[in-house]
Amino acid sequence: MSSTGKVYLVGAGPGDPGLLTVRAQELIRRAQVIVYDRLVGKRIIEQANPDAEKIYVGKESNRHTLPQEEINRLLVTKAREGRVVVRLKGGDPFLFGRGGEEAEYLKRNGVEVEIVPGVTSAIAAPAYAGIPVTHRDYNSTLTIITGHERADKLANSVPWNEVAAGNGTLVFLMGMENLPFIVERLLAGGRLPDTPVALVRWGTLPQQEVLEATLEDVVEKVQTSGFRPPAVIVVGEVVRLRQELAWFDRRPLFGKKVIVTRARAQASRLVTALEELGAWVLELPTIAINPLPVANLRTIVSGIDSYSWIVFTSVNGVKVFISRMLEHGFDIRDLKGPRVCAIGPATAAEVRSLGMRVSAVPEEYRAEAVAEILLRHAGAGDRILLPRARGAREILPRLLRAKGVIVDELEIYEAVPETRLDEENRELLKEGLVDIITFTSSSTVKNLVAIMGEEMVKTLRGKVRVACIGPVTAQTARDAGFGVDVVAREYTIDGLVQAIIEACTGAK
């Protein structure tokens, strides 16, 4: 077997991580080396194996981190080390991405290559702006043109009279610097001055901007608005359809910068819900979940039939308990004896996702409500297993033991404070450029204050809205010096999201 590795030329799509192909995502997670460009977003790179070597070779106008020739040599060098190399390129590697050049160089140097196409911004960015690049009532052709060449080269490399003729849709990639030249050539070639034009900046991302104009006034509008690259330029009658079909930037939280302070292991559901509504989510976890060693877990699971109930009080409790159990060689089926009580719908959903049945979910997500529902079914001498966090409130076991129920508490994880606020988020907070901070527990409040400092809390009052999952968290936030603007009526992630929507849109 050859010691030479393999290079995958992978299209990362236009920016939205949800537009990665399944194959691209699989390779990003497998890669030992990732060589990536400027337009490959942080959220995509974060999906890589933490141990993978990540090399940035991004290019901006008139500024190259690494010349193309050196990128080619780098790919060969890494492959010859016997490693799996992913060359990650924005959009599609074969559409103005120099993928063909890189593939040729690799082949000439005896390196195996696989091509993984990606969703191109030429189609995706207009689509996210509500512009179909083809429509049978408007056009029957689509021409995709690079706008990145020098103006003198662009003048000779593009058949302008043919491009300008007719009514087909034109899409220019990387053409903002040459916009005046492009407009001049299209008008000279016969396109009418009132032809609609749309510029889509950061297409498919939460910071997407769209400038609508015509060939006659687009250059002036760009200058007066300060509209900057990177942007896709769309020319043609299909641009008019944006008025009817725009969707991405019409969502209720579009453009709102929302900080999520929830622990990393718990944040995904809240992040996903907010992003689906258009928010620009910045993850700033204040809590990390650390599993704890459980010396007697084997004994407990072996004797699981002696328990009437297992009570899960959090999603983390479910995940860590099951993970620890599987590590000891047990199976989910070993938990068939006791019934399961879960606090809250999210915890219940996590239990069900593992193939287990949930017998009870209290209407209120408080220890007192859990005790009440359990005591309807359990009495003196019954045993209950309570896997949960170190330092959790003692109310639940105390209420149960008062009625003679035997409660075995199992401390399986601890929530520990994060210790650092990254510079990007610190600056955004300091400048008041965040719209909403979310708090999902009192500990997230306390930990954020510890990370950012009390002085910064004072500067945020009146600048940034604060949204809390419930009244207890809200009171903690007020005690810490925050002004609280939003409190969920239902103390769940869904309730918090709904409260944020209502606060931002006035909808009930």
Which sequence positions are flagged as catalytic? 37, 59, 174
Tokens of 141: 């052709």
Residue pair 312/342 in contact by the 8 Å Cβ criterion: yes
Tokens of 160: 């302008």
Residue pair 498/488 in contact by the 8 Å Cβ criterion: yes
Residue pair 76/105 in contact by the 8 Å Cβ criterion: yes
What 3 state SS string does 126-179 have? HHHCCCCCCECCCECCEEEEECCCCHHHHHHHCCHHHHHCCCCEEEEECCHHHH
Cα 17 to chain centroid, rounded = 7
CA-CA-CA-CA dihedral for 393, 394, 399, 401, to nearest 10: 150
Q: In whole angstroms, what is the distance from residue 468 CA to residue 481 CA?
A: 14
Q: What is the DSSP letter of 91?
A: B
Q: What is the DSSP letter of 50?
A: T
Name the nearest CA neighbour of 95 among 196, 9, 163, 26: 9
Q: In whole angstroms, what is the distance from residue 404 CA to residue 398 CA?
A: 10
Residue pair 342/358 in contact by the 8 Å Cβ criterion: yes
